[in-house]
Amino acid sequence: MQIRLTVNGEPRALEVDVRASLLDVLREGLALKGTKKGCDHGQCGACTVLVDGVRINSCLTLAVMHDGDAVTTIEGVGTPEALHPIQQAFLEQDAFQCGYCTPGQICSALGMLAEAAAGHPSHATADLLAPVELTEPEIRERMSGNLCRCSAYPQIVAAIRQAAEAA
């Protein structure tokens, strides 16, 4: 089936298998290997990308459901030569070890920061009406959909705080 996507700002026309997840189309169809497959069941977050600015598990959604959508993957966030501030913060805080969950963590963090800025509360938010303060418990709660088996969790929180404070 034919679909059109805007991926990292570039319009792409694709012929996709209707059974194909957005994740597999990104990785195999578009050779954007930065988005990772950790579980293929929406349980680990390694496949997190931004669709129209909102973070989603790209393994839990079929590519054909995204005709016309704008997708941002880790390749669209920054490059090794020109890292995004949050990528730089992950590097400096040692917020990864094996690196496999990292693109998902970073995309998720970008989505999460936008949610917080828009005032979306979380389970850890005490006052649902006040602006969200990005405390450590808030970040931890909001980032719990992204597993890191190397367990760089404290460093991930530090990196997100560094990036959020710099922004």
Partner 1 sequence: MADDANPIALNRAGLIGKPVDRLEGKLKVSGTADYAYEVMEKPGAAFGYLVGATIPRGKIAGVDISAAEAAPGVLLVWTHRNAPSQPAPGTQSQAGSQAPAQPELYDERIRFYGQTAALVVAESFEQAAAAARLVRIDYEADAGAAVVFDDMHAAARDTGGDEEAQKGDFDAAFASAPAVIDATWTTPVQNHCQMEPHASLCWWEGDQVYAFTSNQSVKRPQHALGETLGIDRNKVHLRARYIGGGFGGKNNSYADLTLSALAARELKRPVKIALTRQQMFHMTVHRPATVQRVRLAADRNGQLTGISHETISHCARADRFMERASAFTKNLYAAPNRRIGHKLALMDLPVAGAMRAPGEAVGMLALECAMDELAEQLGMDPVDLRILNEPDVDPTDGRPFSTRPLVRCLKEGAQAFGWDARIPTPRHTRDGRWWVGTGMAAAIRGNFLLPAKAQIHISAEGIVTVRQAMTDIGTGTYTILAQIAAETLGVPLEEVRIELGHSEWAPAPGSGGSFGAASAGSAAMDAGINLRSKLAALAVGDAASPLHGGDPAKAEFRDGNIVIGNQAEALGDLVRRASPQGVDAVGAVTPDPKGREYSQHTYGGHFCEVGVDAVTGEVRVRRMIGVFAAGRILNHKTARSQLTGGMIWGIGGALHEENHVDPRFGSFVAQDLAQYHVPAQADIAGLDAWFIDEVDDIANPLGIKGVGELGICGAGAAVANAVYNACGVRVRDYPITVEKVLAGLQALEG
Q: Is 14 in the site for partner 1 (CB under 8 A)?
A: no
| C-alpha to C-alpha distance for 90 and 155, rounded to whole angstroms | 8
**How big is the site for partner 1, counted in residues (CB under 8 A)?**
62
Determine the Cα–Cα distance for residues 99 and 105; give it in Å rounded to an integer.
10
Query: Does 57 interact with partner 1 (rule: CB under 8 A)?
Result: no
Q: Which is nearer to partner 1, 27 or 66 (CB)?
A: 27
Q: In the set 100, 115, 135, 161, which binds partner 1 (CB under 8 A)?
A: 100
Nearest C-alpha neighbor of 110 from the set 136, 84, 92: 84
Distances in Å between the Cα of 87 and the Cα atoms of 90, 92, 115, 133, 149 are: 5, 9, 19, 22, 19
119 makes contact with partner 1 (CB under 8 A): no
Tell me if 133 contacts partner 1 by CB under 8 A: no
Q: Which of 146, 162, 163, 164 binds partner 1 (CB under 8 A)?
A: 146
What does the binding site for partner 1 look like in residue numbers (CB under 8 A)? 17, 19-20, 24, 27-28, 31-41, 43-44, 46, 73-75, 77-80, 83, 87-88, 90-92, 94, 96-103, 106, 136-137, 139-141, 143-144, 146-157
